Chain A
Amino acid sequence: MLEASNLECVRGERRLFAGVSFRLACGEMLQVQGANGSGKTSLLRMLCGLTPAAAGEVCWRGQPIGKLGEEFRGELCYLGHHNAIKEELSPLENLLAAAALAQESLDEDAALDALEQVGLHGRADLACRYLSQGQKRRTALARLVHEKRPLWVLDEPYVALDPAAVELVSGLVGAHLQRGGLAVLTSHQAVSVTAGALRELWLGTAAASYGRI
């Protein structure tokens, strides 16, 4: 479904990685690992089509994502380094606004349910600036609860989360894989999912290595 071939990333004068290739099928998850500054975020942004690759190509269902354009973006859910939430808005408003921007139909009950699942019960109407870092991250992750798009690209989803929340997110990703979805995520910690196959990709100083466990 998702296929990357010979991706190369150049930042300024430094070549962060080159020759990164992988193929991800339904129900599989790819965990991208590497030291700080090894280009994990850049790789994820390339997979979404935000950053153009210096060389190589990303294909979705056999076609280059650049050609697919909106068709591809309609099947993609990206959670970036930043939470994409507004401090002035409440978690509920943020969630509804994010869904509207992504052209997803999400009614208020579903949104409240999602917030409750990520443990923000009773805080749905509080402006986000009064929330802790972890709670803000949870607000951003609440999008995943009712997310049915097949490809999830998550940049450091576990950052600032407590163990219970990590468990919760792993459960969401597992359910997603079980439905036949695909996921690509970066994380410094070991990731276990309840279902689906886990693959790992190491971005190192030399050529990237790629293995299956």
Chain B
Amino acid sequence: MTNRVINWFRYASPQTFYPLAGKLIPCFWTLAGIFAVVGLGIGFLLAPTDAQQGEGYRIIFLHVPASWMSMFIYLVMAFWAAIGLAFHTRLSGMMASALAPTGALFAFLSLWTGALWGKPMWGTWWVWDARLTSELILLFLYIGFIALQAAIDDPRRADRAGAILALVGVVNVPIIYFSVKWWNTLHQGASVSLGKAPSMAAQMLWGMLFCALACWMYSIAIALMRVRNIMLERERHTEWVRALLAQAE
């Protein structure tokens, strides 16, 4: 009897989650759109020009939320990975692999916008600052995760191997961050300190907050879309996907 209940859960969760996710996606897209309009509106129209940095600073409305999201998504990914390892739920593995590309995208965006910001501010595209370096390593970790999952054919195995990697990574991220910071303070002469953030006007803060919310909603929406695709691909031989596809035709 218990066997049947467990089986029911294992087989039903993607099946029930699929239409649920389908209903949620438009909501998150709408929220993302609203937050983006509000955030960018505040950022570009209301926030005052920075006394030291001129108009160029406005890139932080993308740069800062992207950095936040890249770190946050790694934590969420590791959380899903841990759940998947502990309870053998299939959905959590799919969530982890659905989140990874978005996380990598934000890490890349954060580096790119950072470089664009750095050029006018410090006259160089890249400095070996602790935060930049850690962000670069985070991007490497994302790429490693995606590459590992892509290299393993069996999705179950790929999920579990990826989960172990994500957990090892999450243990290592703080160690890497602090070691890079330590290294950076020892080599202070060569780099520019980003530590002293100029005091921000309230509008800037609000704009950044809304932009971060927009990025957050976007991540959820796109991760749900991706997880739906993964579900269809992995479960294409099951009854419910066949029924769904027959319906669509």
Q: Which residues of A contact B (CB under 8 A)?
A: 6, 12-13, 55-57
Contact = CB atoms under 8 A, between A and B. Distances in A.
Interface string B31-62: 00000000000000000000000000000000
B7 A55 contact: yes
B249 interface: no
B3 interface: yes
Interface in B208-222: none
A160 B7 CA distance: 41
Nearest to A14: B237
B7 A12 contact: no
Interface of B: 3, 7, 153-154, 236-237
Main secondary structure of the interface of A (DSSP, over half): strand
A101 to B, nearest CB: 24
Contacts of A57: 3
A55 B237 contact: no
Nearest to A5: B3
Main secondary structure of the interface of B (DSSP, over half): loop
9 contacts: A6-B3, A12-B153, A12-B154, A13-B236, A13-B237, A55-B3, A55-B7, A56-B3, A57-B3
A113 to B, nearest CB: 42
Contacts of A55: 3, 7
A209 B189 CA distance: 77
Nearest to A56: B3
A6 B7 CA distance: 12
A34 B146 CA distance: 38
A42 to B, nearest CB: 13
A7 to B, nearest CB: 11
Nearest to A13: B237
Contacts of A12: 153-154
A57 B237 CA distance: 24
Contacts of B154: 12
Interface-central residue, A6, A12, A57, by most chain B CB under 10 Å:
A12
Nearest to A55: B7
Nearest to B237: A13
B142 to A, nearest CB: 27
Contacts of A56: 3
A56 B3 CA distance: 7
Nearest to A57: B3
B52 to A, nearest CB: 60
Contacts of B153: 12
Nearest to A6: B3
Contacts of A6: 3
Contacts of A13: 236-237
A45 to B, nearest CB: 14
B213 to A, nearest CB: 40
A44 B236 CA distance: 28
Contacts of B237: 13
Contacts of B3: 6, 55-57
Given A13-B236, A55-B3, A57-B3, 6 more contacts: A6-B3, A12-B153, A12-B154, A13-B237, A55-B7, A56-B3
Contacts of B7: 55
A78 B236 CA distance: 36
A55 B7 CA distance: 8
Nearest to B235: A13
A6 B3 CA distance: 10
B222 to A, nearest CB: 27
A13 B236 CA distance: 9
9 closest residue pairs by CB, A with B: A13-B237, A55-B7, A12-B154, A6-B3, A55-B3, A57-B3, A56-B3, A12-B153, A13-B236
A23 B55 CA distance: 77
A56 B6 CA distance: 11
Interface-central residue, A6, A13, A56, by most chain B CB under 10 Å:
A13
A57 B7 CA distance: 12
Nearest to B238: A13
Nearest to B7: A55
A12 B153 CA distance: 9
A10 B236 CA distance: 14
A13 B237 CA distance: 7
Nearest to B153: A12
A13 B153 CA distance: 11
A56 B153 CA distance: 24
